[in-house]
């Protein structure tokens, strides 16, 4: 019995000694953190990238700032569109929702890539004009005259329509009607896109591929002595001739004209109903020449030349010399605004036979999806 107790005591002592030894080993063993702090890293530092975005006028303005340790310089910032800037900070504008990647390169050969997601931009709104293929931004803001330009120099101005519904002042007047297919197409387009583009300038002539087409260019002689039907035709052909692939052109309609005036009146009170802005000098000026009639970046709606529209006037024009209405075979189209030799407001309208023309009558186009 004594031997058994002795063996048990010995075993307990051995176990206790082993446990104490194990405890001492763990106390004295250096930790992983101690090991890491004693190791000198040979890895080159990487750039640190700070990105901040803010929505302004329905555009995401992104600020990118890059830093790096040890006095190393940033060599360039690679932007989402594939371009680069040689700087440690820059600003980038985004007009469509999506993911955008920025890569910062340092002179030590290290790079850092960061991707952000933009989702706050209002799509399909009057504040977010679509950009037709082949056009670029010239300047201005959607609310007060956003201008785009194609490779030939044609310029158009965005007309925002927040409700998606165009205005037509003669809608309830049975003496007028609007049956042109271009006018109907524009109504449908605005319902989807909440705006359209109006030609910044009165139409002028432009030679392309041996053909004379209608253009919207600055400093040109307005295209006059053209009847309404020809103005309708060349307006439609303009977009085709200049190679527009995702939008088209047409002669301005009553819907478009009245909507433009309503929009301008919001910021220039009574513009549509007075003659304070147009060229009524007796001499037709080049397109865009009259500074006082450059309103919301749209030029010469008031004077310079009167402008054909697609609207039909169903009553006989009072200036027509024919006494018997049954003898009248021409369709009457509405001419808007005044001219260099006729002091009339931008809202003025009157009907003439669509096959007639005048040295002081011209036209203007619209552009839409």
Q: Kindly report the CATH number assigned to the domain that includes residue 103.
A: 2.60.40.10
314-320, Cβ contacts within 8 angstroms, sequence gap of 24 or more: 314/174, 314/175, 314/176, 314/177, 315/175, 315/351, 317/350, 317/351, 317/352, 317/353, 319/352, 320/353
pLDDT of amino acid 321: 46
Domain termination site, one of 77, 92, 118: 118
Domain termination site, one of 83, 118, 153: 118
Checking if the pLDDT of 6 tops 80, the result is no
Q: Is residue 224 part of a domain?
A: yes
Please state, in angstroms and rounded to a whole number, the distance separating the CA atoms of residues 129 and 193: 8
Checking if the pLDDT of 334 tops 60, the result is yes
Domain termination site, one of 57, 91, 118: 118
Q: In what order do the strands lie in the sheet with 135-139?
A: 135-139, 147-150, 155-160, 195-199, 365-368, 248-251
Checking if the pLDDT of 74 tops 60, the result is yes
Q: Which two tokens stand for residue 152?
A: 């030939």
CA-to-CA separations, 150 to 52, 136, 180, 185, in angstroms, rounded: 32, 6, 26, 22
Q: Is residue 25 part of a domain?
A: no
Checking if the pLDDT of 200 tops 60, the result is yes
- Residues 204-209, mean pLDDT to the nearest whole number: 96
pLDDT of amino acid 56: 84
Q: Are residues 97 and 217 in the same domain?
A: no
Checking if the pLDDT of 347 tops 90, the result is yes
Listed in sequence order, the residues at least 6 apart from 44 whose beta carbon sits closer than 8 Å to its beta carbon are 108, 109, 110
pLDDT of amino acid 43: 81
Q: Are residues 84 and 191 in the same domain?
A: no
pLDDT in tens, 125-184: 899 899 999 999 999 999 999 999 999 999 999 999 999 999 999 999 999 999 999 999
Q: Are residues 343 and 199 in the same domain?
A: yes
The CATH number that applies at residue 140 is 3.90.1580
| Mean pLDDT across the chain | 88
Checking if the pLDDT of 193 tops 90, the result is yes
Checking if the pLDDT of 9 tops 90, the result is no
Q: Is residue 21 part of a domain?
A: no
How large a percentage of the chain has pLDDT more than 70? 84
Q: Are residues 90 and 57 in the same domain?
A: yes
8 A C-beta contact, residue 275 and residue 338: yes
- Residues 11-40, mean pLDDT to the nearest whole number: 55
Q: Are residues 223 and 273 in the same domain?
A: yes
Q: Is residue 272 part of a domain?
A: yes
8 A C-beta contact, residue 120 and residue 277: no
Q: Which two tokens stand for residue 341?
A: 């030799």
Q: Which two tokens stand for residue 224?
A: 């006059």
Q: Is residue 128 part of a domain?
A: no
Q: Are residues 141 and 213 in the same domain?
A: yes
Other beta carbons within 10 angstroms of residue 319's beta carbon come to: 9
Q: Are residues 341 and 206 in the same domain?
A: yes
Please state, in angstroms and rounded to a whole number, the distance separating the CA atoms of residues 142 and 158: 6
Bigger pLDDT: 24 vs 256 = 256
How large a percentage of the chain has pLDDT more than 90? 75
Q: Is residue 28 part of a domain?
A: no
Checking if the pLDDT of 232 tops 60, the result is yes
Bigger pLDDT: 44 vs 317 = 44
Report the interhelical angle of 181-193 vs 228-241 (nearest 10°): 50
Domain count, the chain: 2
Q: Are residues 219 and 364 in the same domain?
A: yes
pLDDT in tens, 315-333: 865 445 444 444 455 799 9
Q: Are residues 103 and 206 in the same domain?
A: no
pLDDT in tens, 263-318: 999 999 999 999 999 999 999 999 999 999 999 999 999 999 999 999 999 886 54
Please state, in angstroms and rounded to a whole number, the distance separating the CA atoms of residues 352 and 334: 6
Please state, in angstroms and rounded to a whole number, the distance separating the CA atoms of residues 114 and 92: 14
Please state, in angstroms and rounded to a whole number, the distance separating the CA atoms of residues 205 and 105: 50
Q: Is residue 126 part of a domain?
A: no
Checking if the pLDDT of 218 tops 80, the result is yes
Q: How confident is the model at residue 22 (pLDDT cuts 50, 70, 90)?
A: low
Q: Which two tokens stand for residue 6?
A: 């002795």
Q: Is residue 30 part of a domain?
A: no
First to last CA, the chain: 106
pLDDT of amino acid 44: 87
Q: Which domain holds residue 355?
A: 135-368
Please state, in angstroms and rounded to a whole number, the distance separating the CA atoms of residues 38 and 28: 17
pLDDT of amino acid 197: 98
pLDDT in tens, 113-137: 999 999 888 766 899 899 999 999 9
- The model's pTM is 0.69
Q: Are residues 108 and 249 in the same domain?
A: no
Q: Are residues 258 and 343 in the same domain?
A: yes
User: Which residue intervals of the chain are DSSP H helices?
Assistant: 2-28, 32-37, 181-193, 228-241, 254-267
Q: Are residues 287 and 206 in the same domain?
A: yes
Q: Which two tokens stand for residue 276?
A: 């304070």
| 251-255, 327-331, 342-346: least confident range | 327-331
């Amino acid at each position: 019995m004594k031997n058994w107790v002795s063996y048990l005591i010995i075993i307990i002592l051995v176990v206790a000694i082993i446990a104490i030894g194990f405890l001492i080993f763990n106390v004295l063993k250096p930790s992983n953190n101690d090991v890491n702090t004693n190791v000198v890293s040979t890895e080159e530092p990487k750039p640190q990238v700070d990105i901040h975005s803010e929505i302004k006028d329905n555009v995401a303005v992104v600020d990118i700032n890059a830093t790096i340790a040890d006095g190393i310089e940033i060599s360039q910032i690679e932007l989402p569109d594939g371009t680069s800037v040689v700087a440690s900070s820059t600003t980038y504008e985004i007009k469509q929702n999506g993911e955008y990647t920025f890569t910062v390169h340092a002179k030590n050969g290290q790079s850092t890539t960061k991707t952000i997601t933009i989702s706050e931009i209002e799509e399909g709104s009057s504040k977010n004009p679509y950009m037709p293929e082949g056009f670029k931004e010239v300047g201005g803001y959607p609310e007060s005259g956003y201008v785009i330009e194609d490779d030939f120099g044609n310029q158009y101005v965005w007309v925002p329509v927040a409700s998606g519904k165009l205005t037509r002042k003669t809608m309830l007047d049975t003496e007028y009607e609007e049956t042109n297919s271009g006018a109907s197409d524009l109504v449908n387009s605005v319902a989807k896109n909440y705006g359209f583009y109006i030609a910044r300038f009165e139409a002028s002539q432009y030679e392309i591929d041996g053909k004379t087409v209608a253009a919207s260019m600055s400093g040109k002689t307005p295209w006059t002595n053209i009847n309404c039907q020809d103005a309708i035709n060349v307006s439609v052909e303009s977009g085709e001739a200049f190679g527009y692939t995702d939008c088209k052109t047409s002669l301005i309609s009553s819907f478009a004209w009245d909507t433009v005036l309503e929009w301008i009146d919001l910021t220039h009170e009574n513009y549509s109903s007075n003659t304070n802005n147009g060229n009524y000098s007796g001499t037709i000026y080049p397109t865009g020449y009259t500074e006082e009639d450059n309103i919301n970046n749209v030029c010469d709606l008031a004077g310079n030349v009167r402008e054909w529209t697609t609207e039909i006037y169903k009553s006989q024009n009072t200036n027509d010399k024919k006494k018997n209405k049954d003898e009248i075979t021409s369709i009457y189209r509405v001419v808007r605004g005044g001219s260099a030799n006729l002091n009339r407001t931008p809202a003025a309208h009157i009907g003439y036979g669509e096959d007639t023309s005048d040295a002081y009558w011209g036209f203007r186009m619209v552009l839409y999806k």
